[in-house]
Structure 1
Amino acid sequence: MAALTVAGVNVTHPEREVFGPGGPTKGEVVAYYESVAAWMLPELARRPLSLVRCPGGLGSACFFQKHHADTLGRHVKPVVLEEKGGDEAQYIYVEDVAGVIELVQMNTLEFHPWGSHVDDPDKPDRLIFDLDPAKGVPWKDIVAAAREIRERLGDIGLTSFVRTSGGKGLHVVAPFRTGPSWDAVKAFCEGIADAMVADAPKRYIAQASKAKREGLIFIDWLRNTRGATSVTGWSLRAREGAPVAMPVRWEEIARLKTGAAFDMNKAVRRGRSLEADPWEGMGTLKQSLP
């Protein structure tokens, strides 16, 4: 098949099946990201990114990439950030749909932004709890955990939002005014997770130990550190069936059955039918981290 031009970007090999035989093609993935870009970019634009790239599709090795390269495209921007050892490196960010499509042309399937912007990467402006259940944990328990986090945050004045992870669980996200340090945000989130474990040790765990996780929901607060990332809303996941991490309204989660309830086709239909962003107000809330 001839190359396509999408958002001004030349897309090669659009016929390649990137999700296995019979699964979505590269051209369909490009069309997907173009169609949902208006919903996706507010959470993605001008944030340092880590990418999951799968040059040979799911049948080959996929890898994370966080450093910039000129080969990624002219709309894929570099930002110089200090790394743990003190050295500096060029990280990736995008500003528009052309940058997203250039990354998909380079076989990107997943987009994982920081919790801060490139303008001030050491000043986070959102926190996230990733609820990762052990095998066999009922969906209703995952929903209850998300609601409990919402309630705890609400009790201290923070409005939060929820999305499916595209996997087994849910993400609870809360924006706040820039100002707190990464260490302060990390300590705050650890405190919430530890309190939930203390109150219900037979339901939750806050340690990243798979050996101890059986029958429990891991409240992953560790993504609230400098350099850590979490999949953005509307991003595909590099998994069989092309599931999507989907922002939803709080009242929607009880009607779902899994964190992978939305695949690419359902996400396209949802994007076309939505009259308002499920996370409406996310970018304009004026609330402060206690």
Structure 2
Amino acid sequence: MIRLTHPDKPLYADSIHVTKRRLLDYWRRVAPFALPHLAGRPLSLVRCPKGGGRPCFFQRHHARGMPPGLRAAPISRDGKTEEFLTLVDGAGLDGAVQMDALELHIWGAHVDSVERPDRLTFDLDPDESLSFEEVKRAARDFRALLEAAGLTSFVMLTGGKGAHVVAPLEPSLDWTTLTAFARGVAMRLAAEEPARFTAIMTKSRRIGRIYVDYRRNERGASAIAPFSPRARVTPSVAAPIAWGELTRIERADAYTIDSMERRLASLRGDPWDGYFDLRQSITPAALRMFAAEGL
């Protein structure tokens, strides 16, 4: 068992009961649900030595002196091999807490098949002027579009102001093909409803619209992991929910460390029931439907 340094240090200004020890307890309680999404993937940590809402920094490479639960994953990049971070069990979650990591971000592939992504993610990031009702409507639009491509998807509140729509995949395509498909889906919606969506990062194009970040599906990109806390003033968490629950949700930061624990205790199963049982792929027909727009 890991020995925490400064276990009573508050991590969130508006929730002083959420200490380093409390964060460790949270991860241990949600680990049965969270680890299947986290384990064996390249990992990035958002480390916040002074707590949420204060200056933080990303770390995605392994280094000497790290807790033993965080391991090195050698991955080739631009002709060089780099040692990225990964974890395989709860000891890695303990180690992340010890390093003052509030957020855990994951790649869309596992380290043992890093060139074959197995996760499709769309990050729906609304302009500040938009209500969460618009985000919910957008998430349903993406669900319908992916269903037309033969893909079952799941929705997650980001713990910030948006939502992720995620589809598990068989690791059969390369990154270039997946990115082209994702871009094609995003561009299709942006072209059909330009007043609602943009797939272009430029700030001026995002005013009054939802920015569809399809670049989460590029090699080396990462997305917030399910159940991860956020590095904000409030201890909100990235919350997987069932599609049927979306109607009654009022905010993307609706769940916190405390309420997520209560939620999981009251559920009879995983909020993303069936996620790991799905065996689905982006078909040649779906690639023809969308990927050409992404090239």
Query: TM-score normalised to the size of structure 2?
Result: 0.93
* Cα contact 2:242–2:271 (8 A) shared by 1: yes
Q: Which of 67, 87, 96 is residue 73 of structure 1 equivalent to?
A: 67
Work out whether 1:39 is the aligned partner of 2:33. yes
Which secondary structure state, in structure 2, belongs to the residue aligned with residue 11 of structure 1?
A: coil
Work out whether 1:15 is the aligned partner of 2:5. no
Work out whether 1:160 is the aligned partner of 2:148. no
Structure 1, unmatched stretches of 5+, are 1-7
Q: Residue type matched to 2:219 in 1?
A: R
Structure-2 change in CA distance of 1:74 and 1:205 (3 Å)? same
Return the alpha-carbon distance in structure 2 between the equivalents of residues 115 and 93 of structure 1. Answer: 13
Deviation at 1:34, TM superposition (A): 0.9
Indicate the residue corresponding to 2:95 in structure 1.
Answer: 102
Work out whether 1:260 is the aligned partner of 2:262. no
Structure 1 segments (4+ residues) deviating >6 Å: none
Indicate the residue corresponding to 1:191 in structure 2.
Answer: 184
Work out whether 1:49 is the aligned partner of 2:49. no
* Cα contact 2:52–2:234 (8 A) shared by 1: no
* Cα contact 2:52–2:230 (8 A) shared by 1: no
Deviation at 1:20, TM superposition (A): 2.3
Work out whether 1:62 is the aligned partner of 2:62. no
Return the alpha-carbon distance in structure 1 between the equivalents of residues 133 and 70 of structure 2. Answer: 40
* Cα contact 2:53–2:233 (8 A) shared by 1: no
Structure 2, unmatched stretches of 5+, are 284-295
Deviation at 1:283, TM superposition (A): 1.4
Q: Residue type matched to 2:170 in 1?
A: R
More helix by share: 2
Q: Which of 151, 154, 157 is residue 144 of structure 2 equivalent to?
A: 151
Q: Residue type matched to 2:62 in 1?
A: H
Query: TM-score normalised to the size of structure 1?
Result: 0.95
Return the alpha-carbon distance in structure 1 between the equivalents of residues 222 and 27 of structure 2. Answer: 20
Q: Quick one: percent identity of the two aligned structures?
A: 41
Return the alpha-carbon distance in structure 1 between the equivalents of residues 3 and 166 of structure 2. Answer: 35
Deviation at 1:58, TM superposition (A): 3.0
Return the alpha-carbon distance in structure 1 between the equivalents of residues 124 and 213 of structure 2. Answer: 6
Deviation at 1:76, TM superposition (A): 1.1
Matching of residues 1-290 of structure 1 within 5 Å: 8-20=1-13, 22-23=15-16, 24-58=18-52, 60-83=54-77, 85-290=78-283
RMSD: 1.1
Q: How many residues align?
A: 282
Return the alpha-carbon distance in structure 1 between the equivalents of residues 102 and 180 of structure 2. Answer: 32
Return the alpha-carbon distance in structure 1 between the equivalents of residues 267 and 47 of structure 2. Answer: 29
* Cα contact 1:35–1:271 (8 A) shared by 2: no
